[in-house]
């Protein structure tokens, strides 16, 4: 795909974080947008930020876990925009909890949004993408789709599955007009911890969080961790820019951040003991990470 001008892009999770900045950067590039979000207030905020760009925008308040709603979405977008060229399956949530104490409701909540949402969206939109001369499907996994940490069993399950699902359909569609991309962000400054759920007993904070807490001085409450996570990750505008460059260059796997590159390399070289390497690098990476937004 050479550029995004006059393309129609569907973005889930567009109310904040990478979804919001994907929308902004695509609008700047001349793409028309169907922005999707469960939170009507944050969706409206994103829409307001897009008004200065001369592009066509439709807003869709939708729960990606609602299969029936997702099945109807492509026709709604096509009726408004005429066609669909790009789909960014970006919405995601997490639960920070040991598996043995995680409720079935929490497990299902993450599975339905992170995994079934991506699968249902892909199934719904793929015929519309295949009808275009060139198109792209972009599914967001995570570096946690390559490595594991304690207390993230359901998140890992969904992100490993998204990686496998996306890489499989990329092979199935390799001779088609549809580019398939799997995105693996490292630490991006988003609201995922703020909007997530936590159920940890004393002493169950994962080792990496504990080390960061001891060395940097952050607490272990959800509020403290959420503030640290958002303020010390790569700015989501930069992450979104990397994604869009990856789409233009047709990179099937898009790694975001030095931490993602390091974790990917370490699990290849040290598949059993990679977690012992992380603490050595995470502090300098956290300090040096570019937390500033892209310049206008």
Low-confidence ranges of the chain (pLDDT < 50): 202-203
pLDDT of residue 62: 98
Give the residue among 253, 256, 249, 250 at the shortest CA–CA distance from 233: 256
Give the residue among 51, 54, 58, 67 at the shortest CA–CA distance from 35: 58
Active site amino acids: 155
pLDDT of residue 233: 84
pLDDT of residue 95: 94
Q: Which long-range contacts (CB under 8 A, 24 or more apart) does 252-255 make?
A: 252/167, 252/170, 252/180, 252/181, 252/182, 253/167, 253/181, 253/182, 253/184, 254/181, 254/182, 254/183, 254/184, 255/143, 255/184, 255/186
- Provide the residue count of the chain: 296
pLDDT of residue 280: 66
Cα radius of gyration (the chain)? 19
CATH number for the domain whose boundaries are 8-288: 3.40.50.720
pLDDT of residue 196: 87
pLDDT of residue 221: 72
pLDDT of residue 274: 77
H or E, element range at 59: strand 57-61
Q: Which two tokens stand for residue 24?
A: 């902004």
Q: Which two tokens stand for residue 185?
A: 């962000």
Query: Are the C-beta atoms of residues 118 and 139 closer than 8 Å to each other?
Result: yes
HEC assignment per residue over 181-221? EEEEECCECCCCCCCCEECCCCCCCCHHHHHHHHHHCCCCC
Phi, psi for residue 10 in degrees, rounded to 5: -100, 130
Q: What is the pTM of this model?
A: 0.91
Q: What is the pLDDT of residues 19-67, one digit of tens each?
A: 999 999 999 999 999 999 999 999 999 999 999 999 999 999 999 999 9
Q: How many Cβ atoms are within 10 Å of 9's Cβ, its own excluded?
A: 28
pLDDT of residue 11: 99
Give me the DSSP letters along 98-142: -GGG--HHHHHHHIIIIIIHHHHHHHHHHHHHHTSSSEEEEEE--
């Amino acid at each position: 795909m050479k550029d995004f001008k006059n393309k129609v892009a569907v973005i889930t999770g567009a109310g904040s974080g990478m979804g919001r900045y994907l929308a902004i950067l695509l609008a700047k590039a001349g793409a028309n947008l169907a922005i999707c979000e469960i939170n009507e207030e944050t969706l409206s905020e994103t829409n307001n930020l897009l008004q200065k760009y001369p592009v066509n925008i439709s807003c869709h308040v939708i729960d990606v876990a609602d299969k029936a709603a997702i099945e109807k979405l492509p026709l709604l977008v096509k009726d408004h925009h005429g066609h669909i060229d790009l789909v960014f399956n970006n919405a995601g949530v997490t639960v920070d909890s040991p598996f043995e104490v995680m409720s079935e409701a929490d497990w299902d909540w993450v599975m339905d949004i992170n995994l079934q949402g991506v699968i249902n969206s892909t199934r719904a939109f793929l015929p519309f993408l295949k009808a275009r001369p060139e198109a792209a499907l972009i599914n967001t996994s995570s570096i946690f789709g390559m490595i594991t940490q304690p207390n993230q069993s359901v998140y890992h399950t969904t992100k490993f599955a998204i990686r496998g699902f996306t890489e499989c359909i990329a092979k199935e569609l390799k001779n088609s007009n549809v580019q398939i991309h799997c995105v693996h962000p490292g630490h991006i400054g988003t609201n995922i911890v703020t909007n997530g759920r936590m159920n940890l007993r004393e002493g169950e904070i994962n080792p990496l969080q504990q080390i960061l807490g001891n060395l940097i001085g952050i607490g272990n409450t959800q509020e403290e961790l959420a503030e640290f996570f958002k303020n010390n990750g790569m700015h989501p505008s930069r992450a979104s820019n990397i994604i869009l460059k990856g789409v233009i260059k047709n990179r099937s796997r898009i790694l975001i951040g030095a931490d993602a590159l390091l974790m990917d390399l370490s699990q290849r070289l040290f598949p059993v003991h990679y977690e012992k390497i992380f603490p050595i690098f995470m502090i300098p990476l956290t300090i040096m990470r570019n937390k500033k937004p892209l310049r206008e």
